[in-house]
Amino acid sequence: MSIVVQNIERADASVADAFARFGVATVHEAQGRKGLMQPHVRPIYRRAHIAGTAVTVSVPPCDNWMLHVAVEQCQPGDILVVAPTSASDAGYFGELLASSLMARGVRGLIIDAGVRDVAELEVIGFPVWSKCISAQGTVKETLGSVNVPVVCAGQLVNPGDVIVADDDGVCVVTRAEAADVLAKSAAREDKEAAVRKRLQAGELGLDIYAMRDRLKAKGLAYIDAANRD
Amino acid sequence: MSIVVQNIERADASVADAFARFGVATVHEAQGRKGLMQPHVRPIYRRAHIAGTAVTVSVPPCDNWMLHVAVEQCQPGDILVVAPTSASDAGYFGELLASSLMARGVRGLIIDAGVRDVAELEVIGFPVWSKCISAQGTVKETLGSVNVPVVCAGQLVNPGDVIVADDDGVCVVTRAEAADVLAKSAAREDKEAAVRKRLQAGELGLDIYAMRDRLKAKGLAYIDAANRD
Amino acid sequence: MSIVVQNIERADASVADAFARFGVATVHEAQGRKGLMQPHVRPIYRRAHIAGTAVTVSVPPCDNWMLHVAVEQCQPGDILVVAPTSASDAGYFGELLASSLMARGVRGLIIDAGVRDVAELEVIGFPVWSKCISAQGTVKETLGSVNVPVVCAGQLVNPGDVIVADDDGVCVVTRAEAADVLAKSAAREDKEAAVRKRLQAGELGLDIYAMRDRLKAKGLAYIDAANRD
Amino acid sequence: MSIVVQNIERADASVADAFARFGVATVHEAQGRKGLMQPHVRPIYRRAHIAGTAVTVSVPPCDNWMLHVAVEQCQPGDILVVAPTSASDAGYFGELLASSLMARGVRGLIIDAGVRDVAELEVIGFPVWSKCISAQGTVKETLGSVNVPVVCAGQLVNPGDVIVADDDGVCVVTRAEAADVLAKSAAREDKEAAVRKRLQAGELGLDIYAMRDRLKAKGLAYIDAANRD
Amino acid sequence: MSIVVQNIERADASVADAFARFGVATVHEAQGRKGLMQPHVRPIYRRAHIAGTAVTVSVPPCDNWMLHVAVEQCQPGDILVVAPTSASDAGYFGELLASSLMARGVRGLIIDAGVRDVAELEVIGFPVWSKCISAQGTVKETLGSVNVPVVCAGQLVNPGDVIVADDDGVCVVTRAEAADVLAKSAAREDKEAAVRKRLQAGELGLDIYAMRDRLKAKGLAYIDAANRD
Amino acid sequence: MSIVVQNIERADASVADAFARFGVATVHEAQGRKGLMQPHVRPIYRRAHIAGTAVTVSVPPCDNWMLHVAVEQCQPGDILVVAPTSASDAGYFGELLASSLMARGVRGLIIDAGVRDVAELEVIGFPVWSKCISAQGTVKETLGSVNVPVVCAGQLVNPGDVIVADDDGVCVVTRAEAADVLAKSAAREDKEAAVRKRLQAGELGLDIYAMRDRLKAKGLAYIDAANRD
């Protein structure tokens, strides 16, 4: 059954927005190394960094009809997350749909399939993370669903979840955990800032993290090159 | 048998040149969603956008001898299209061959294999669309053919066909259809310009394209999130 | 057994440094078309070009503990070469480890696995050639080895070997052959400079390299397009 | 947090068992073309065909410790479903673990990673559907979870769901829908039996499914080869 | 435009049939190492070996409607060749369509996409060479064409061409060249039979093919292991 | 420089032969989880299981000339190990070369490239582990080397090393370590036999390997499904 779920509950906007201060690697670590999409989903241009709330779309392979349906469900601060029901490298999305989404305040697109008009998308500043770049046209024949749970690039995404995306990839934070993960992300960044200074000053991670004893206990041996065979 | 076909008939130069005004996605759609090479063929640098007439080369795997033969068959406005007879990621082409092609007015290279010297190629402004970037050297031992029909990245290319290439990929337009597809590309672009304005103003594709009735007829249901289980 | 080999013998620093004048394609050809890593190892940003001496690390899949051990073994002019013992696309390396390596004068990282913080790495100017970009976190549980021979992206690398990396990929030159290959690289570049000028002036490779007779002897036939059915 | 969820609710055993009469293609179609795992998950030997209830395991990359934990949670009629948190082709599972699972009445393993001892597994008759065959050993250092929702080869699997697997792949049926999908599978098979007889007798699908009018309406044209230029 | 070309000219049946005596490797070599499809197209079961005349189908991604149209165009001795217009791993074909094709005397299917019901297909003896095995269902919404030239797995196939398929893959022989290639295949096989006997008797290819002088001229050096450093 | 190294030192024949009693997984574990080739190298037919001494061949891409040279260097008990200098899926090897190798007592072929005549190879009982099956013909134009160190599917192989291959893949054991690894393989198998009996009797790995305390210490929590929200 093909459905459009309206009036979904979204993660708190102030929380979702605040994630844009943190990189995907930080958020992924802060929530216990989960939520990261597979690395084949890449940004079409570098230096984009967004956070927002997911509007999800389950689409048939090579059919982009439901994207038009999804636009209407978007509101400012959203990020569109599109997952085909079977693998496709067709170009579901281009500059016209981006114009439409920008008019509604949508911040970007995550799609486990192809995208086109990438030069224009960079010019107008609409970031996309996609499986590939492909001009291959799609049809408008078969229904899908909007705002149902989808698996996108190996991660379950529920409508309203927080999405964070940058040059390192895409991370999903569940609505329920968003505030907690945000706090942990900030804490992690603070801790890293302190470590960074010490590393830049020439201290070793071996000492900062006190690894030497555990390495020795595991049996790591130091040998002089001159003493090998 | 290895042959070099000379004096091929090319698509009309004014038509071929005019395609540079249109993106690959537009041309691909304008000719009925055909002619697009597989998306693994990617530009080595962004923002190149070329159109021209194909000089085709069928090469053995990891042997670039025929590229030297092909240079002589090129004239201003041509684009070299190279297809190995079995899969190869060797670096068939670099800056020296590019210098030679530029001296003859060739606009770029499409190759379903590897290319090298990519930093230099960007500096001198010779665009390449390739399967990969690889410095792997090739030999000069086995013949191939120039200006015979080739299958390059899944598309049949005949010598003299029009090639259009940009950040979205590579599209082939047959010589016979070039003028017609050019006209259709212009028409499509005009139509899209009108739609773009309406989308930017906030109108929905659902309304512009009058999709609502057909979606309903197919059975699309709208549900309120509050009413789900 | 997990070992850290200390005080390895490195290729002569003046020789290793001098390789930075030559591109990977040139070095690879100069040493007889060997030493090139597989082309899936790509730079995380363009225009980096480095040469230096290899400190090698054999790491377990998805475990980056040994990178911290390896940092201590590095000295100015080194390049870290990391090979997992089984395939992994985890993000072994980020900006903190880069800060630590930069503090020791290390010039870059080659890794047949994933890397993260790529935006920050470009900002601080620490180049990485990797299999993929991935924020996926790693653990610190299992030992590996430092400065043992490793196979990285299909190439055997011994500690102290010369590594050259640019936009075309990564090439390994053994310590024993480094001086000889350096001389050959310079010779090749001189020869190419002469050929380049002639090609730019419109001469053909067919004539410069005297290929016509051999092509004819192999049976290459020239046919006029008008005479094909 | 790493947890083992005990006493999960499973799909009704009589329902789960009954699915073994139907092929994966039938079940997938009967539930509306959903639930199919990605086709890279393949059986290690042909002609196995199983159905049962899922015990799910979320495992770290290249670490099979949690499989030992999961065994204890299995009961007769179960199928183990294993998903790594990041891509891995290590050999998580072999004949010893299979012996242990067989002793508990487990019917098979679905794993989006590698498996080993495949010759022995065929001899003892323990079927596995896996991403690859690999002898690569794993470690036992990092926790995961048992009987939590996992994404395996692109499909969400909840503990207690029905799994059907045969030479065509693996399909998931949610616990809630199992009885309904079972009935629909039977209905589909009955319908297909009738169609099969007519097709074998030489009737055409075009007529049986009354496709001719719709094809004509869409614009399909029949042309005689002799009339093509 | 979507068309069905009727009454195509086929390669002579006696010629097409006779190819079944020769393996794909023999035919591929006999016609000058051309015509071989890419190796990702594999048989769904071993030991099938067929030859026949191609009925070609160009299909949209994930839409198998045109297969039903194609069945009607088949006659005894044909082989169906199916190429999607963009990459797809959906399961276009199963046992029902096979039953229909068998009723018309069709010998097998070549498809650059997915197939399902593979256990049943082996039981009824209908061989398929495909890109993958996948139960993923397809739709019947968009037209394609029958008996037009298609590019299937990298090879151009014209309707009526000869197809030869065995465990080594799939080879295409053009209608025009079929008789000539058949003769050359037989000649090659005779020559190989003579060589085989000599090799089995312990003679070396080096001597049978008189390679030693040419190897020496190219510079091959024989060294005793004891004399290496 | 292209060389053929003659009279290589091989691992002791009685040791090499004895490895055939042990599976690849056992040997790989017994030597500390090293030596395993990448899992893309697969047997062309099931149930082959061989052990022997490596004769190595470094071949150019798509050129099988050196295989003929290598045959002469083989003696009974050898296994041919072939690595192309850049990636290739051509069919380097078929039934004629196999006949020649069988006449010399060679036990099988490991090749990180393609092979053809696979049906015939199974009939005559010559096992091959390869990257792919492909009928694509090769040339005989460029030299390579025999009995030099090669990297094959990610593993360094020196001439005379022991190769073990079965349905799980291919493992390399260095000549120096062969006797020791053989003893450890036997010990491992004995230990596994004891564990197998206990597992078959229903004991859990958790208890046999005494894992419960360490799992608890790491923080594994057991939760009842009824207590999850």
Contact (CB, 8 A) for C207 and C213: no
Contact (CB, 8 A) for E24 and E171: yes
- Output the CA–CA distances (angstroms, integers) from residue F28 to E225, F19, F180, in the order listed: 28, 11, 13
Check pLDDT > 80 for residue E229: no
A70 sits in which H/E element: helix A65-71
Residue bearing tokens 């609409």: A126
Q: In chain D, which among 46-75 make CB contacts under 8 A with chain C?
A: 60-62
User: What is the 8-class DSSP label of residue B121?
Assistant: H
Question: What is the rounded distance in angstroms from the CA atom of residue E204 to the CA atom of residue E207?
Answer: 5
Question: What is the rounded distance in angstroms from the CA atom of residue F140 to the CA atom of residue B206?
Answer: 62
CA distance, residue F227 to nearest chain C CA (Å): 30
For the beta carbon of residue B229, count every other beta carbon within 10 angstroms.
Answer: 3
Question: What is the rounded distance in angstroms from the CA atom of residue E39 to the CA atom of residue E153?
Answer: 8
A78 sits in which H/E element: strand A78-84
D80-133 pLDDT per residue, tens: 999 999 899 999 999 999 999 999 999 999 999 999 999 999 999 999 999 999
A82-103 pLDDT per residue, tens: 999 989 999 999 999 999 999 9
F50-59 and F162-166 as β-strands: parallel, antiparallel, unpaired?
Answer: antiparallel
Contact (CB, 8 A) for E162 and E16: yes
Helices then strands, counting H and E runs in chain B, come out as 8, 12
Question: What is the rounded distance in angstroms from the CA atom of residue F26 to the CA atom of residue F187?
Answer: 10
For the beta carbon of residue C216, count every other beta carbon within 10 angstroms.
Answer: 11
A38 touches chain D (CB under 8 A): yes
Cα Rg for chain B, rounded, in angstroms? 21
Write down the ipTM of this complex: 0.96
Of the candidates B23, B52, B13, B35, the residue with the CA atom closest to the CA atom of residue B186: B23
Residue B228 bridge partners (DSSP): none
Q: What is the pLDDT of residue C186?
A: 98
Question: Alpha carbon A54 to chain centroid distance?
Answer: 10
Q: What is the pLDDT of residue F229?
A: 60
Question: What is the rounded distance in angstroms from the CA atom of residue C135 to the CA atom of residue A167?
Answer: 9
Question: What is the rounded distance in angstroms from the CA atom of residue C78 to the CA atom of residue C97?
Answer: 15
Name, in order, each residue with C-beta under 8 angstroms of B82's C-beta and a sequence gap of 6 or more.
Answer: B56, B57, B59, B67, B70, B92, B93, B109, B110, B111, B112, B113, B152
Of the candidates A52, A92, A94, the residue with the CA atom closest to the CA atom of residue A74: A52
Q: What b/e string do you get for A152-162 counting C-beta neighbours within 10 Å, with b at 16 or more?
A: bbbbbbbbbbb
Kindly indicate the confidence band of residue A131, based on its pLDDT and cuts at 50, 70 and 90. Answer: very high
Percent of chain B beyond pLDDT 90?
A: 98
Q: How many CA atoms lie within 13 A of B135 on its CB side?
A: 31
Q: Which residues of chain C have pLDDT under 50?
A: none
Residue D57 bridge partners (DSSP): D82, D146
Q: What is the pLDDT of residue C81?
A: 98
Q: Which residues of B touch C195 (CB under 8 A)?
A: 96
Of the candidates E85, E3, E72, E64, the residue with the CA atom closest to the CA atom of residue D219: E3
E84 sits in which H/E element: strand E78-84
Q: What is the pLDDT of residue A229?
A: 60
CA distance, residue E132 to nearest chain B CA (Å): 18
Helices then strands, counting H and E runs in chain A, come out as 8, 12
Question: Alpha carbon D151 to chain centroid distance?
Answer: 13
Q: What is the greatest pairwise CA distance in chain A? A: 71
Contact (CB, 8 A) for D59 and D92: yes
F222 touches chain D (CB under 8 A): yes
E139-177 pLDDT per residue, tens: 999 999 999 999 999 999 999 999 999 999 999 999 999
Count Cβ–Cβ pairs < 8 Å, chain A vs chain B. Answer: 117
Q: Which residues of F touch D8 (CB under 8 A)?
A: 225
CA dihedral of residues D223, D226, D227, D229 (deg, nearest 10): 120
Beta carbons of E149 and B156 less than 8 Å apart: yes
Cα Rg for chain A, rounded, in angstroms? 21
Kindly indicate the confidence band of residue B229, based on its pLDDT and cuts at 50, 70 and 90. Answer: low
3-class secondary-structure state, position A121: helix
Q: Which two tokens stand for residue F123?
A: 């009939």
Of the candidates E49, E123, E126, the residue with the CA atom closest to the CA atom of residue E93: E126
**For range B204-211, the mean pLDDT:** 97
Question: What is the rounded distance in angstroms from the CA atom of residue C13 to the CA atom of residue E8?
Answer: 71
Task: Name the residue facing A96 among B195, B202, B228 (closest C-beta).
Answer: B195
Q: Which amino acid appears at position F33 of this protein?
A: R
Beta carbons of B143 and C223 less than 8 Å apart: no
Q: Which residues of chain D have pLDDT under 70?
A: 229
Question: What is the rounded distance in angstroms from the CA atom of residue F165 to the CA atom of residue F25?
Answer: 10
Q: What is the pLDDT of residue B123?
A: 97
Question: Alpha carbon B190 to chain centroid distance?
Answer: 22
Segments of D127-198 assigned E as strands: 128-133, 145-146, 150-152, 155-157, 162-166, 169-173
Q: What is the greatest pairwise CA distance in chain B? A: 71
E57-92 pLDDT per residue, tens: 999 999 999 999 999 999 999 999 999 998 999 999
Helices then strands, counting H and E runs in chain C, come out as 8, 12
Q: Which two tokens stand for residue B153?
A: 């990245």
Averaged pLDDT score across all residues of chain A: 97
Q: What is the pLDDT of residue E227?
A: 85
* Span between the terminal Cα atoms of chain F, in Å: 70
Beta carbons of A155 and D151 less than 8 Å apart: yes
Kindly indicate the confidence band of residue F7, based on its pLDDT and cuts at 50, 70 and 90. Answer: very high
Residues in chain A: 229
Q: What is the pLDDT of residue F9?
A: 98
Residue D169 bridge partners (DSSP): D166
Check pLDDT > 70 for residue A220: yes
Per-residue 3-state assignment (H helix, E strand, C coil) for B94-106: CHHHHHHHHHCCC
Q: What is the pLDDT of residue B228?
A: 77
**Assessment of whether the complete model's pTM goes beyond 0.95:** yes
Q: Which two tokens stand for residue B35?
A: 């002619």
Q: What is the greatest pairwise CA distance in chain C? A: 71
3-class secondary-structure state, position C105: coil
Averaged pLDDT score across all residues of chain E: 97
Beta carbons of B36 and E86 less than 8 Å apart: yes
Q: How many CA atoms lie within 13 A of C194 on its CB side?
A: 7
Q: What is the pLDDT of residue D90?
A: 95
Residue bearing tokens 């890397």: C115
Handedness of CA B20, B21, B26, B31 (dihedral sign): negative
Q: Which two tokens stand for residue F176?
A: 């120096």
Q: In chain D, which among 170-199 make CB contacts under 8 A with chain E?
A: 171, 192, 195-196, 199
Question: What is the rounded distance in angstroms from the CA atom of residue D121 to the CA atom of residue D103?
Answer: 14
Contact (CB, 8 A) for D161 and D174: yes
B42-43 and B50-59 as β-strands: parallel, antiparallel, unpaired?
Answer: unpaired
Residue of D86, D131, D140 to mutate, interface with C, max C Cβ within 10 Å: D86
E10 touches chain F (CB under 8 A): no
B213 touches chain A (CB under 8 A): no
F24 touches chain E (CB under 8 A): no
Question: What is the rounded distance in angstroms from the CA atom of residue A98 to the CA atom of residue B195?
Answer: 12
Residue of chain F with shortest Cα separation from C37: F86
Residue ranges of alpha helices (H) inside chain C are 13-18, 24-30, 65-71, 95-103, 118-124, 178-200, 205-208, 212-218
Averaged pLDDT score across all residues of chain F: 97
Task: Name the residue facing E90 among A86, A141, A142 (closest C-beta).
Answer: A86
Contact (CB, 8 A) for C67 and C84: no
Check pLDDT > 80 for residue B166: yes
Question: What is the rounded distance in angstroms from the CA atom of residue E78 to the CA atom of residue E93?
Answer: 17
